[in-house]
A and B are shown apart, each in its own frame.
Chain A
Amino acid sequence: MRENDVILQTVSKVAVFIILTFGVYLFLAGHHNPGGGFIGGLTLSSAFVLLYLAFDVETVNAGIPLDYKMVAATGVLIAIFTGMGALLFDSAFLSQTFAYFDLPIFGKTELATVVLFESGIALGVVGVVVTIIISISEDV
């Protein structure tokens, strides 16, 4: 018997976008303020988990056809390869750098290579958290 979850589904449809935006904000804020890849990743994955709770696994999987194990693996690869990338510039493993650019809309903007590394972390976290939640739900 399926309970009536119209309210949950309606709220989720809106809330998911708010959570996703907040996740991206946290991810980008992380360079100078609290936030970053790990926390941003956790927030992003909570949006996915909310979707899985509000709708069922099949519906969400049909909408977002991703193998989350592979998302996690891609994230880890990105993180390691950005660390290895420093080797190409003859600096130590995991070295990072940043510079200021004048971008058309944002004006003077700081761009840092650490964002690439953090994006790997974020993907890794999203992949692992969603994989764990889906595996637990399969058990029941």
Chain B
Amino acid sequence: MNNILVFPMVLPIIAGVILLFFRSKPAIQRWGSILTMIAVFAISLWILFQVMDQTILRLNFGEWAPPFGITFVADAFAMLLVTSSSLVSILCLLYAAFAKDEKREKFFLYPFLLLLVAGVNGSFLTGDLFNLFVCFEVMLLASYVLMTLGGEKRQLTEGIKYILINILSSWFFLLGIAYLYGSLGTLNMAHLSQRIAEAGQPPLLTTISILFLVVFSLKAGLVLYFWLPGSYSALPTAVSALFAALLTKVGVYALFRVFTLLFYHEPSITHTIIGLMAIITMAGGSIGAIAYTDLRKIAAYNVIIAIGFILVGLAANNEAAIQGSIYYLMHDILVKGLLFLIIGTVIYVTGKTKLDQASGLITSYPLLGWLFLITTLSLGGIPPFSGFAGKLLIGQGALEAGEYVIVAAAFLSSLFVLYSLLRIFLNMFWGETSISQKNRVILPKGMIAPCLILALLTVGLGLGMGVVSPFVAEAAHVLMNPEIYIEGALKDE
């Protein structure tokens, strides 16, 4: 019994609900939510170290033993993601606290951000497929509100599409769960894994697995990403950074969990399809990233490329590639938050959203310029930044698996990432300055501080590869050996 496991989900909910009572006090809202997330981060770090000690931690809700009750199961993979997502939410909340968007703060911006984080953490931790659905819904309901909060016309048009597509995919998710329950009679993930292994994953179960692939692809933006660029670019900066950092990653997490723990017996079908989808995603994302001149669209298409890249690791399906994917997931959570914060800040200081509408920003805002360059290099996978380790390992693993075409596509997409962001850098930061000294918007230090911290983190994650690698190795080891997870999730206490 490890009651501590429930805190990363319950603390944000409690804090969020308490903050509802302090509607008219923005200071309490801002700092209360930041302190909560700091506490969540500290707790998840502590659980991560416990997990390194004991491999798997489990909590039976209401003391109902699995597979009958609902469980929270923490392994290294889940905890690495909980820790990095809590970290990035602290910084996004910090940015929001200094951006002082009073119109939204008055209508419960912070409670909904906290509920979103609660849903995300719950999705990472749960050991039950139906509970995963519930946590997805908690996250999505909060995201629906955040999507439309503020009521700008653009937000509402994109919000309708976003809500419709997510309701549809939730319905498919529920359908998949019903099929699985109908054929196997359980929804505990470890128990499901056992039963699927016993049955040897017959064609019927493989078909159901494709249904899950479609559902999680919609959430992750794998091939089915048509809703993503529009909706992410309609949001205020701090919210869009949190969306870009967390929402698609939950879909990716679910794909990894489902296709390493449950449906791993027919890789020639499922993992080949994932590989193809990854290639299409990277190609589509690359085209989008260089086709648009709208900064937020470019950033959104970069999210899509990264999703394709991470799933190359799952398609290769060996330990090196999975390690690479986990590295890259953590890197992407941090650096996509950073990218969206910087893009938002650039739009805040220039008031322009297209890359040809301003230039020479580096003379007025040198720090912002260099931070953007670091982000670009980190996303492109240049050492010593954090993108490098992940790209290296994914490439290595995919080559081991003999997936040459996918490797070629993956590294080609990295060049497109680099090009699309360097284009912004050269157009907007380089060149003749377009802002006169007297028109200069003063950039609050509090808005640049989260970007600086995130940039330091991406450098730190790149240089501190040695510190992180035992955790990542452990996570990949558990993912590749489902029996460890099953043993931890089902054994009697």
Chain A residues close to B by CB (< 8 Å): 69-70, 73, 76-77, 80-81, 83-84, 86-87, 91-96
Whether A70 lies near B62 (C-beta < 8 A) is no
Bound form: Cα–Cα A95–B14 in Å: 18
Q: Name the residue in A76, A81, A83, A94 with the highest tally of chain B Cβ atoms < 10 Å from its Cβ.
A: A94
* A93-B17 contact, Cβ under 8 Å, with A80-B10, A84-B10, A87-B3: no
* A92-B18 contact, Cβ under 8 Å, with A80-B13, A84-B10, A87-B3: no
Whether A70 lies near B6 (C-beta < 8 A) is no
B416 to chain A, nearest CB (A): 45
Whether B20 lies near A69 (C-beta < 8 A) is yes
* Cβ 8 A contact of A92, one of B20, B21, B63: B63
Q: Besides A80-B13, A96-B62, 15 other CB < 8 A contacts?
A: A73-B17, A73-B20, A73-B21, A76-B13, A76-B17, A80-B14, A83-B10, A92-B3, A92-B59, A93-B3, A93-B10, A93-B62, A94-B62, A95-B62, A95-B63
* Interface residues of A, dominant DSSP: helix
Chain B residues close to A by CB (< 8 Å): 1, 3, 6, 10, 13-14, 17-18, 20-21, 59-63
**9 A–B contact pairs at CB < 8 A?**
A69-B20, A70-B20, A70-B21, A73-B18, A73-B20, A77-B14, A80-B14, A92-B61, A94-B61
Chain B residues whose CB sits within 8 angstroms of the CB of A69 once the complex forms: 20
* Interface residues of B, dominant DSSP: helix
Q: How many A-B residue pairs have CB under 8 A?
A: 41
Chain A residues whose CB sits within 8 angstroms of the CB of B60 once the complex forms: 92
Whether A93 lies near B6 (C-beta < 8 A) is yes
Residue of B with least CB distance to A80? B14
Bound form: Cα–Cα A69–B63 in Å: 32
B67 to chain A, nearest CB (A): 16
Whether A80 lies near B21 (C-beta < 8 A) is no
Bound form: Cα–Cα A93–B122 in Å: 14
A136 to chain B, nearest CB (A): 16
Bound form: Cα–Cα A96–B63 in Å: 9
B439 to chain A, nearest CB (A): 41
B122 to chain A, nearest CB (A): 12
Residue of B with least CB distance to A75? B17
* A77-B61 contact, Cβ under 8 Å, with A92-B1, A93-B6: no
Whether B20 lies near A91 (C-beta < 8 A) is no
A57 to chain B, nearest CB (A): 20
Bound form: Cα–Cα A87–B61 in Å: 11
Whether A77 lies near B63 (C-beta < 8 A) is no
Chain A residues whose CB sits within 8 angstroms of the CB of B10 once the complex forms: 80, 83-84, 93
* A77-B17 contact, Cβ under 8 Å, with A92-B1, A92-B3, A93-B6: yes
